[in-house]
């Protein structure tokens, strides 16, 4: 294992900070800080429990899965496509439809 602090050390540290937070004079600041610290303590407990559970099932809790890497290059919209955002497209040819026409000005297909 590592030579650094353990989860138990971290939780003791959080407990000490929680006790020190009682000295914050402003009530709103004190309560806000206490909520932050109590949340961190809860997360540390959840992490510790999950870590132990994975170890008991023979799973390495520190094994990181490589993220899926997408090699597709995003396609950027043309200036015309950008100007036509929000307009409907013709089912026949895909060109933008004019709002005041009942048919496609490009191919004549009815709406």
Shared domain for 47 and 86, answered yes or no, is no
pLDDT score recorded for residue 3: 77
Asked if the structure places residue 31 within a domain, the reply is yes
Assigned domain for 70 exists:
no
Provide the phi-psi class of 11: left if phi over 0, else alpha when psi is between -120 and 50, else beta.
Answer: alpha
Q: For residue 68, tell me if it sits in a domain.
A: no
pLDDT of residue 106: 79
User: Do 81 and 47 fall into the same domain?
Assistant: no
Give the integer Cα–Cα distance in Å for 110 and 83: 23
User: Is residue 2 situated within a structural domain?
Assistant: no
- Give every CB contact of residue 54 below 8 A, 6+ residues apart in sequence: 60, 61
State residue 32's pLDDT score.
Answer: 95
In a domain, 87, yes or no: yes
Residue 63 resides in a domain: no
The confidence score (pLDDT) of residue 36 equals: 96
| pLDDT tens-digit readout, 53-105 | 999 998 888 876 677 777 777 676 665 555 555 567 788 888 877 777 778 87
Q: Residue 46: exposed, middle, or buried by beta-carbon count in 10 A (0-12, 13-18, 19+)? A: exposed
In a domain, 42, yes or no: yes
- Say which residue, 107 or 27, is predicted with more confidence: 27
pLDDT of res. 80: 56
Residues 13 and 40 in one domain: yes
Lowest mean pLDDT among 7-16, 19-28, 77-86: 77-86
Check whether residue 46 and residue 81 sit in a common domain: no
> What's the number of domains the chain is made of?
2
Q: How many CB atoms lie within 10 A of CB 37?
A: 19
Q: For residue 91, what are the domain limits? A: 75-111
Classify residue 49: in a domain, yes or no.
yes
CA-based nearest residue to 8, from 51, 54, 56: 51
Tell me phi and psi for residue 105, to 5 degrees.
-70, -20
């Amino acid at each position: 294992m590592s030579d650094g602090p353990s989860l138990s050390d971290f939780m003791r540290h959080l407990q000490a900070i929680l006790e020190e937070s009682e000295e914050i004079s402003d009530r709103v600041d004190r309560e806000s800080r206490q909520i932050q610290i109590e949340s961190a303590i809860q997360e540390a407990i959840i992490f510790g429990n999950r870590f132990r559970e994975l170890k008991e099932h023979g799973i390495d809790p520190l094994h990181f899965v490589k993220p899926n890497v997408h090699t597709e290059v995003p396609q950027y919209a043309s200036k015309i496509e950008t100007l036509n955002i929000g307009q409907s497209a013709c089912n026949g040819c895909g060109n933008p439809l004019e709002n005041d026409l009942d048919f496609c000005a490009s191919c004549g297909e009815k709406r």
